[in-house]
Chain A
Amino acid sequence: MTQRYDAVVIGAGIVGAACARECAQAGMRTAIIEQGTIGGGATAAGMGHIVVMDDSPAQLALTRYSQLLWSDLASQLPPSAEYETCGTLWVAADEEEMAEVLRKQELYRSAGVPVEVLDQAQLREAEPNLRPGLAGALLIQSDAVLYPSAAALHLLNQAIEQGADLCAGAHVLHCGNGSLQLSDGTTFAADRIINAAGALAGALTPGLQIRKRKGHLVITDRYPGFVRHQLVELGYLKSAHSVSGDSVAFNVQPRKTGQILIGSSRQYDEESPGIESRILTAMLDRVGQYMPGIAELSAIRSWTGFRAATPDKLPLIGPDERDPTLFLATGHEGLGITTSLATARLLADHFRGAAPAIPLDPYLPSRFAAEAAHA
């Protein structure tokens, strides 16, 4: 038996759930297919930092747009989503990084993001558990944190309330040219297929320029007030954006429960999900350099996850030019929690033929096809 839909979304991570919600809200007959747990992929592994990032103008536009969508949605989120506007402090270790703070300040200001520069004394007052002697920080007040899996479940429930069908427990074997075959024998016909399968998107749509980028995280027991903002070292810019090699960075997050989420690491070409003590030790050493007292806290769990990384650090959003029924919503690397809502809205606007709030061009999958043709 074949079921017919206007739109079928593959994957109920935070991106797929957001897409199903937008499609259903736009009045499309929508289904969403998830092989495992709702929000159980990269979404369950992620830190849940809603962060405006300025690596490129297109990244700044997308993250800012999406952060604003989250703050609009915040009042409707259930308590389990643990949404909190704690702000981000980009920590500068020395004067050289302080110069970077001033450069970033201008960029954020030009995008209309409220910012504040903290000097050495103000940073100490804001975060007494950071080691003394750090040069200062850039405070982005509007950044937030949330619990990604609970947020994904909420988005999915909203999609279902709007009439979307959830097909859980089966995986998509093949998709394309308006049809999908599932492992349980069902077939779907769809005007639009949205591949939101995260780091696994390439298994369904060959030729995508996505590499897995592994990350480790650790969570502590509850220590309310020990950390007050999401703290990220500015040196992170050097490590996170290098395209090759393993890297670790100081990145800690206060959870609403008082727990502290500790990150982060980045590794290409590591397929096994196991915890690697070499990476974990390097990560915790780095964290200890910024926050020595953290070594006294008790950690209760550690895990890993895979980001879906593209060569230019921007996601793939929009039509796949090889198949008029196929659309992509993947490749969000370390920002998919943040950019899920904007991704879904941009796609829905594209389907409706409505003018998007920000240009879609920088995220179109065809940018890589064009590159390949010129090479």
Chain B
Amino acid sequence: MWRWGSGMSISQHSGPPKVSLIYDPKVRSIAYQVILCAIIIFLAYSAVRNAIDNLARAHIASGFGFWNQTAGFDISQTLISYTAQGGTYGRAFWIGLLNTLLVAAIGIVLATIVGFLVGIARLSKNFLLARLSAGYVEMIRNVPLLLQLLFWYNAVLKALPDLRDSWSLPGSIYLNNRGFFAPYPIFSSGTELVVAAFVVGVIGALAFGIWARKRQEQTGQQSPVALVSLGLIVGLPIIAFFAAGMPATLEFPEKGRFNIRGGLEILPELVALVIGLTLYTGAFIAEVVRAGIMAVSKGQTEAAGALGLRTGPTLKLVVIPQAMRVIIPPLTNQYLNLTKNSSLAVFVGYPDLVQIFTGTVLNQTGQAVEVVTITMAVYLTISLLTSMTMNWYNSRIALVER
């Protein structure tokens, strides 16, 4: 290698020239960050102190002591056990959180299905289908969600009969304006085997899927993945269930003087909320999907056609995978919106986190600052987790692009 000068090589000072520390960009940026952090910590600390002082001066209770106090109110839907006399505000919080996660999860799955179907239908060559889809999207997007929720709640309640005229099916299945009721299995010991079988089934199905993909890549031969997976995931647990001697009894709903008790119970509030959120978010997802598909160049479809692929496989194998890259980021947004919008639950009487916690608990304890802080932290966490999952998925499919 050619060197500058003779004996005096600058490679001795290969780092940046030695200057005073304040001019060292590295030291500087670290110093800035330390100072910034210190300021933020100081501000946060004094904000909290100030809040505590102010609340004390106004004689408003503060702190988290309320968490373990008896709640004393009833909740209509509890995924974990809860009673008004035994339940605490803390327990009520978890119930609200689970109820929020439940509608969000159901809503996200259903809205995705609706969104993809409608988004694809809107691009369909079938004029009627395309117009209908467009009409649905336009109508839903232009009416405030709250109105839609109230509409669905009243529609659900109006459409369903009174308790005395319940629609019923043999086997103690009832539908009326108090909800949907059906027998529900109560599991006893031996159920572990069924759960284990299910886990094995899922792992087996995944393994088979990977094997089938490899085989197709190598030999071009397709395997009945869907059928085998179904067999493994559903079939195995069923076999295990019988092998374990059927460790479950059914709890049947029973008609009382006013209500139906026992068994599975799905409240009309949940149904109305899910319908409302699904249709609303579904319309937005449909647009996202349509945009994603339109972003895939027409040449791709034509090339697939030239290779002899039919419309279905073209969509599934060529268009959608490429469209996904465009779809995922705005889709994440829609998922976050749906979760946040589920806080309108209180208007249709569904006990979500906001209804139970920032509603009843806040009001009964009066501890607005604590309750609101916790609630914001929860929504932030849910949002961050959703984004993280979607980003991970996004980076995975983005790899395909190279």
Q: Report whether chain A binds chain B.
A: no
